[in-house]
């Protein structure tokens, strides 16, 4: 089973951990033999992104002392002109780090490390695209336990959680209360408690939320909590995907299903086989892999309508509604409101807004146009007001009509500035957390049917209670 290797850079104790890397170049103190914990001694040179600025002779001496006093393994750059002497049984990790991209011939480099006598070859590189991420994951799968292939940076963060599925002997994590030692590194508590890394293996089913940004999403907490309660061998990760690279990223991570968020919902619809719900919205927020292709549906529209009617306390018919935003999320809301309601659509891009309004029989208005419209429902589908920009609001408080309902699809924070000001103005404020839970319930059904349904409902109830 793949392990979590905790990077200790500030003198943290190694106790209670199964595997730890002591960063002797960043202030870590060598603890000597540690009961129950395999220790990796690392003294990374400044010329390869580390903090050691002494001579190579001094650096070699540091690693050889650690090797002689309890190290399980020593990590040395493949480019170093020397190799440390070490007692029998102490493993050698040869490593290469690229903080700017993925080196050409990364696979050949790893194989040369192994041919030279490395027990484990470590390639830490920074993918700049879904294609480069796929290249690194394919290398990990090819070399299995003989290599640790680390995809650094935001694009690689999800792969650090899924490393065990690709055969890596360990993944690196930041020590609890300490800083990260590489871009995109997770904390050990997150890996252990949220993602249950110790239970992940090649047969684990993998799912993700794909978007940009994606760090705000509550989906990983909700789905992983439900998996744990149901005893399911599955994991759900946040996956940053650049615009235009949705399907490349999903293929790189080898997931069976994906929740899709900004800005990929239209791409998800166009690149998959859509069902009726996705066709009505012209956008998809749920993908399910079928062989070499993908099925797409939209659970946002039904989730929004369920949440809205719960908040209103009545059916959502006969409303005079203003929708803010003209992206993929707006499509679902327009699909839910079209027909029985009068809808005005306000977007920053006039051409895009006009085209979307025609598609759903809505009336396009300028971004600041709704301030002069009498309405009884305002829906924000933009990301304005989402953490970390929670001080923003997409609509001025002074123009909120008393007794109107205000619905914010943003749910992080739970009470956005828009909702807070809506309450202050005497409006009914409805949080998007209800829509999130309702659409996620439908995603669960699309992927798992009745399996684990009760566990999901229990986890969703915990989320809604806050």
- Residue-wise pLDDT for 375-427, tens only, equals 999 999 999 999 989 999 999 999 999 999 999 999 999 999 999 999 999 99
What's the average model confidence in pLDDT over 159-184?
Answer: 91
Active site residues: 265
| pLDDT at residue 177 is higher than 90 | no
Mean residue pLDDT of the chain comes to: 95
| pLDDT at residue 26 is higher than 90 | yes
Per-residue CA distances from 369 to 300, 377, 400, 432 (Å): 26, 15, 13, 24
pLDDT of the residue at 54: 96
398 Cβ neighbours under 8 A, 6+ residues apart: none
CA 351 to chain centre: 32
How many Å apart are CA 341 and CA 336, to the nearest integer?
10
The sign one gets for the Cα dihedral 146, 172, 38, 10 is positive
How many Å apart are CA 212 and CA 191, to the nearest integer?
21
> CA-based angle 382:385:390, to the nearest 5?
160
| pLDDT at residue 14 is higher than 80 | no
Classify each residue of 242-265 as buried b or exposed e, where b means 16 or more C-beta atoms within 10 Å of its C-beta.
beebbbbbbbbbbbebbbbbbbbb
Q: Model confidence at 322, in pLDDT bands (50, 70, 90)?
A: very high
Ranges of beta strands (E only) in 301-435 are: 320-324, 342-346, 363-365, 377-380, 405-408, 428-431
- pLDDT above 90: percentage of residues in the chain: 91
Task: List phi, psi (to 5°) of 443.
Answer: -65, -45
Domain locations along the chain: 3-201, 224-298+437-465, 306-431
Q: Report the top-level CATH class of 306-431.
A: alpha beta
- Residue-wise pLDDT for 112-159, tens only, equals 999 999 999 999 999 999 999 999 999 999 999 999 999 999 999 999
Give the ranges where 210-327 is alpha helix by DSSP (H): 219-230, 246-253, 265-270, 276-281, 300-312
How many Å apart are CA 414 and CA 386, to the nearest integer?
10
From 3.40.109.10, 3.40.50.10860, 3.50.50.100, 2.40.10.480, which CATH number describes the 224-298+437-465 domain? 3.40.50.10860
Query: pTM for this one?
Result: 0.94
pLDDT of the residue at 51: 96
How many Å apart are CA 262 and CA 214, to the nearest integer?
8
Please state whether beta strands 91-97 and 234-240 pair in parallel, antiparallel, or not at all (unpaired).
unpaired
Q: By C-alpha distance, which of 395, 428, 396, 262 is closest to 323?
A: 395
Which tokens is 156 given? 């690689």
Residue 354: which H helix or E strand, with range? helix 350-359
CATH topology of domain 3-201: TIM Barrel (3.20.20)
pLDDT of the residue at 29: 87
| pLDDT at residue 314 is higher than 90 | yes
- pLDDT above 70: percentage of residues in the chain: 100
330 burial via Cβ count (<10 Å: 0-12, 13-18, 19+): buried
Reported residue count of the chain is: 466
How many Å apart are CA 67 and CA 43, to the nearest integer?
12
pLDDT of the residue at 183: 83
Fold match, 224-298+437-465 / 306-431: yes
- Residue-wise pLDDT for 289-312, tens only, equals 999 999 999 999 999 999 999 999
């Amino acid at each position: 089973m793949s392990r979590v290797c905790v990077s200790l850079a500030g003198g943290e104790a190694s106790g209670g951990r199964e595997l730890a890397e002591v960063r002797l170049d960043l202030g870590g103190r060598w603890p000597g033999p540690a009961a129950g914990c395999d220790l990796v001694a690392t003294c990374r040179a400044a010329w390869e992104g580390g903090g050691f600025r002494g001579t190579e002779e001094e650096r070699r001496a540091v690693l050889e002392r650690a090797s002689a006093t309890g190290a399980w393994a020593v990590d040395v750059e493949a480019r170093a002109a020397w190799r440390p002497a070490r007692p029998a049984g102490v493993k050698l990790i040869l490593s290469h780090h690229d903080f700017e991209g993925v080196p050409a011939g990364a696979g050949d480099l790893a194989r040369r490390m192994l041919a030279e006598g490395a027990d484990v070859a470590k390639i830490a590189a920074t993918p700049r695209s879904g294609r480069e991420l796929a290249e690194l994951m394919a290398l990990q799968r090819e070399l299995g336990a003989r290599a640790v292939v680390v995809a650094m940076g935001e694009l690689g963060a999800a792969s650090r959680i899924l490393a065990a599925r690709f055969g890596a002997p360990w993944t690196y994590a930041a020590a609890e209360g300490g800083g990260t030692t590489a871009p995109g590194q997770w904390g050990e508590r997150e890996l252990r408690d949220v993602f249950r890394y110790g239970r992940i293996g090649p047969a684990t089913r993998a799912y993700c939320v794909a978007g940009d940004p994606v760090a705000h999403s509550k989906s990983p907490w909700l789905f992983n909590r439900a998996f744990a309660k149901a005893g399911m061998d599955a994991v759900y990760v946040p996956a940053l995907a650049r615009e235009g690279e949705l399907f490349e990223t999903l293929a790189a991570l080898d997931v069976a299903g994906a929740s899709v968020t900004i800005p990929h919902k239209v791409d998800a619809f166009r690149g998959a086989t859509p069902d009726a719900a996705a066709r009505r919205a012209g956008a998809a927020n749920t993908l399910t892999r079928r062989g070499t292709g993908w099925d797409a549906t939209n659970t946002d529209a039904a989730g929004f309508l369920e949440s809205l009617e719960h908040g209103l306390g009545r059916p959502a018919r006969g409303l005079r509604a203003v929708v803010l935003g003209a992206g993929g999320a707006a499509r679902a809301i327009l699909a839910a409101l079209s027909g029985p309601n009068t809808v005005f659509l306000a977007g920053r891009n006039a051409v895009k807004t006009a085209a979307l309004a025609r598609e759903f029989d809505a009336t396009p208005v300028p971004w600041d146009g709704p301030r002069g419209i009498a309405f009884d429902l305002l829906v924000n589908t933009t990301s304005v007001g989402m953490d970390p920009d929670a001080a923003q609001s997409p609509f001025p408080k002074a123009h909120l009509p008393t007794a109107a309902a205000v619905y914010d699809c943003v749910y992080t924070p739970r009470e956005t500035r828009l909702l807070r000001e809506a309450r202050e103005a005497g409006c009914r404020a409805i949080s998007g957390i209800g829509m999130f839970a309702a659409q996620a319930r439908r995603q669960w059904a699309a992927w798992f049917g009745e399996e684990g349904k009760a566990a999901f409902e229990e986890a969703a109830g915990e989320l809604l209670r806050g």
